[in-house]
C-alpha cells in the first residue's frame, strides 16, 4: 500500500478534514546507466572547479546569482533555509472556480487525496460531492519540501484529486514565443465541414487503456534483441506534410477511410510500425568485468518468406497502382520493406508506388 508523501488538513470555510497526499502516477521509462564504451565501467558525475579542474567538497559549495558576466551575488545554503516557507499543515481553499475555465497548460502533477481515518470519510465525501455537483475546483496553496505550490482540488469518482498548477508567470504567451501562427480563423466552408465530419467519424469514448507507449516497448525489445543477438526493427519514416493544394483530396480520402472502419488501422498511439531489420550482436556487461573488444554473437532469426502471390495481389496491376496512390509514404515504405525492395530508403513516394506496382521486382530480377 502506498505511503502518504504529505499529511495535514483541508479547510473550506470553517470545515476541516484531515487528509494524506499520495502520488497518482508512476514512471515506466526504461532507465540506463552510463558506461565507458567497450567496458562495464560506470560513469559518475563529479563536482569540479571549472577553472582548476579539481573536485570540490559539497560543504564548500555555495549558490551564486549572476548579475553580469562573471559577477555573482553569493547566497549561503542556511540563508535560503531561513526564508524557506517550511512544511505547511493545511490546504486552505480560498476560491472555487469553474473547472473548465482552468486552461490545461496550467496543470502540472497529479496527486490523490485520502481521508486519514474512517471517522473523516463523511466530511471528505461531502467536499468531493460538492465539487462534483458544481463542476468546480478548489484553489489553494500548499507548501511541500520547502517549495510552495498553487493547487486545484477537483472531484473524481470516489476520490479527491489535487493537481499542482503552474504560476501565471511560468506560462508562456504563444503569440510571443511561437514563430508561425495562423493570421485568422478558419471560415465556414467545404473544407471545414469535411474536417468536422472527419472528427465526428473518428470520435470515440475516452479509454486510456487503448493507448500504449510504443517507444518504451521498442526500447525493451531492442535491449532483449541485443542480448539474444536477434534482429532490430528500424523505425518508419514520418509521413510527408499535406500540400494545401491537395487538402480537399486528402480530407476526402481520410473521411472515406474513417467511414469504412478507419481503414483497418489501430489508433495512432497504439499502432506498431514494421520496418527493415538489421542484425545486432549481443553485448552484455557484468559489473567488474571488462567486455572491451568482445561480443557474443548468435545467428539472427530469419523472418518467414513472403508469399509471392499475396504480394502481387496486394500491389500489382493498374487497380493495385490506384490503391497504392492512396497510401501515405510511411505505409508504402512499410510494404516495400515487407517485399525487401532494394534502394527503398532513398525512393520518393512516386518511386515507391512504381516499385510496389511491379517495376521494383523487375529491377531486382534484372540485377540478379
Residue carrying C-alpha cell 565501467: 41
Joined grid coordinates for residue 75: 547566497
For residues 67 and 63, give the distance between their C-alpha atoms in angstroms, rounded to a whole number. Answer: 13
Write out the three cell numbers for 22: 499520495
CA 102 to chain centre: 22
| Confidence check: pLDDT of 319 > 60 | no
pLDDT tens for each residue of 34-43: 999 999 999 9
Which H or E run contains 228? helix 214-228
Q: In angstroms, rounded to a whole number, what is the distance separating the alpha carbons of residues 298 and 281?
A: 7
For residue 79, give every residue at least 6 positions away whose Cβ sits within 8 Å of its Cβ, in sequence order, or none: none
Q: What is the pTM of this model?
A: 0.59
Report the distance separating Cα 181 and Cα 189, nearest Å: 20
- Compute the distance between CA of residue 140 and CA of residue 159 in angstroms, rounded to an integer: 18
Do residues 336 and 355 touch, judged by C-beta distance below 8 A? Answer: yes
pLDDT in tens, 97-130: 999 999 999 999 999 999 999 999 999 999 999 9
DSSP string across 59-101:
GG--EEEEEETTEEEEE-HHHHHHHS----SEEE--EEEEGGG
If you average pLDDT over each of 20-29, 86-95, 337-346, which comes out highest?
20-29
- Helix, strand, or coil (residue 164): strand
Amino acid at each position: 500500500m502506498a505511503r502518504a508523501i504529505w499529511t495535514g488538513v483541508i479547510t473550506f470555510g470553517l470545515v476541516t478534514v484531515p487528509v494524506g497526499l499520495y502520488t497518482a502516477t508512476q514512471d515506466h521509462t526504461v532507465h540506463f546507466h552510463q558506461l565507458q564504451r567497450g567496458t562495464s565501467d560506470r560513469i559518475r558525475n563529479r563536482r569540479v572547479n571549472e577553472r582548476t579542474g579539481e573536485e570540490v567538497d559539497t560543504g564548500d559549495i555555495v549558490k551564486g546569482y549572476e548579475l553580469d558576466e562573471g559577477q555573482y551575488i553569493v547566497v549561503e545554503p542556511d540563508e535560503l533555509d531561513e526564508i524557506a516557507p517550511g512544511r505547511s499543515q493545511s490546504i486552505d481553499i480560498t476560491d472555487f472556480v469553474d473547472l473548465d475555465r482552468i486552461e490545461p497548460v496550467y496543470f502540472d502533477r497529479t496527486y490523490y487525496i485520502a481521508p486519514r481515518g474512517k471517522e473523516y470519510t463523511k466530511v471528505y465525501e461531502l467536499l468531493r460531492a460538492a465539487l462534483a455537483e458544481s463542476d468546480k475546483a478548489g484553489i489553494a496553496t500548499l507548501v511541500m519540501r520547502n517549495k510552495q505550490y498553487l493547487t486545484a482540488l477537483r472531484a473524481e469518482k470516489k476520490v479527491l484529486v489535487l493537481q499542482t498548477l503552474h504560476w501565471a508567470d511560468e506560462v508562456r504567451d504563444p503569440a510571443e514565443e511561437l514563430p508561425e501562427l495562423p493570421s485568422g480563423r478558419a471560415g465556414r466552408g467545404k473544407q471545414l465541414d469535411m474536417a468536422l465530419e472527419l472528427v465526428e467519424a473518428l470520435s470515440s469514448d475516452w479509454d486510456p487503456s487503448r493507448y500504449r507507449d510504443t517507444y518504451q516497448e521498442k526500447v525493451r525489445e531492442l535491449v532483449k534483441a541485443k542480448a539474444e543477438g536477434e534482429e532490430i526493427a528500424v523505425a518508419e519514416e514520418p509521413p510527408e506534410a499535406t500540400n494545401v493544394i491537395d487538402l480537399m483530396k486528402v480530407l476526402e480520402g481520410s473521411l472515406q477511410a474513417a467511414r469504412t472502419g478507419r481503414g483497418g488501422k489501430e489508433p495512432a498511439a497504439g499502432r506498431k510500425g514494421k520496418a527493415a531489420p538489421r542484425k545486432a550482436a549481443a553485448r552484455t556487461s557484468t559489473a567488474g568485468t571488462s567486455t572491451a573488444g568482445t561480443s557474443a554473437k548468435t545467428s539472427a532469426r530469419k523472418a518467414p518468406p513472403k508469399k509471392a502471390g499475396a504480394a502481387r495481389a496486394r500491389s500489382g496491376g493498374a487497380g493495385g497502382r490506384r490503391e497504392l496512390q492512396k497510401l501515405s509514404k510511411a505505409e508504402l515504405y512499410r510494404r516495400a520493406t515487407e517485399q525487401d525492395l532494394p534502394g527503398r530508403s532513398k525512393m520518393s513516394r512516386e518511386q515507391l508506388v512504381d516499385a510496389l506496382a511491379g517495376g521494383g521486382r523487375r529491377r531486382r530480377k534484372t540485377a540478379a
